[in-house]
Amino acid sequence: MNSPYEVLLYYKYSRISDPEDYAANHRILCERLNLKGRILIAREGVNGTVSGSIRDTAEYRRAMDEDPITAGISWKIDHSDTHVFPKLSLKVRDEVVSLNLGSDDFSPEDLTATHLKPDEWREMMNGDDVVIIDARNDYEWEIGRFEGALLPDVPSFRDLPGWVREHRNELEGKKILTYCTGGIRCEKFSGFLLKEGLLDVYQLDGGIVTYGKDESLKGEGFEGECYVFDERLSVPVNRTGGSSIISHCAICNEPSIRYRNCSWKPCNAQFFCCARCETEVGRFCLPVCQEAAIMSPVAVEGQ
């Protein structure tokens, strides 16, 4: 494995008393190391995904591991030939992940569900009276998910509490397993489920990314690929053989994991569009978008 770059995914719930000050110093560190990616900083902690040369990411990890605020991060590391982000975006937010709970909000440091290692998760997945909830957004699970998972049709993490309340009768009395990309959203979401009075709740420690790296499981039980928030768009999980593509081109219905945005600007919806259709038909998610584009070419991206 001689890839010259690494992609890091990480989070740490911690107390950051002055997020603005912390962010200013963190930016200096990232810029010195020429890292690119997305980092959120809040009073409750830090969540990031960055790419850089292996020497720079090693130094970044060392700096974070030595800082008492961020010591103990469980790093998810992928290898890469290049940067996978166009630039560095570092933002201060009220929360690193938000369920929009207002005055009912809580910290996962105070309330979160039992963590399962990949092998424990795999074993429990197969049990009776188990429901698995995909805690990600709809455009993420469309590319890939655990077999048999409930797939909340929500465009944003903030909409999950409403979905839980609507589907409560499917969850009551069951063992509830939750998972997300790298684990941070489930720290919060699984705590929310407990707070709602659901009793038997578990979360996949380190998320799909960690699960996919387990050498004995090889990602079994996961279908499709894992959506990631960088230029790669998705990464493989299941290495047990067979096709990993479960999504289809919206135009020709052939298997495709190629997400694109509709080039009819007022629509701009994200959809699956294979390379051939993009060339032959254009990047339109629906025939009406294509028709609208003919009527009004100025509203087409790239025109």
Mind telling me the catalytic residues? 180
Return the number of the residue (105 or 278) whose C-beta is nearest Zn ion: 278
Could you tell me the smallest distance in angstroms from the CB atom of residue 281 to Zn ion?
8
Strands 175-179 and 222-224: unpaired
Tokens found for residue 53: 């040369």
Least Å distance, CB 257 to Zn ion, is 12
Beta strand pairing call for 45-53 and 36-42:
antiparallel
Minimum CB distance to Zn ion, residue 223 (Å): 21
- Range list of H helices, 128-206: 138-141, 160-166, 168-171, 184-195
Please state the closest distance from residue 246 (CB atom) to Zn ion, in A.
Answer: 15
| Beta-strand pair 201-204/144-146 | unpaired
Per-residue exposure over 27-65, b if at least 16 CB sit within 10 Å of its own CB, e if not? eeebeebebbbbbbbbbbbbbbbbbbeeebbebbbeebe
Nearer Cβ to Zn ion (107/261):
261
Q: Where on the chain is the footprint of Zn ion (CB under 5 A)?
A: 249, 251-252, 262, 264, 267, 269, 274, 277, 285, 289
Distance CA 256, CA 236 (A): 14
Residue with tokens 């009551």: 172
Based on CB atoms, which residue is closest to Zn ion, 7 or 285?
285
Nearer to Zn ion, 18 or 301 (CB): 301
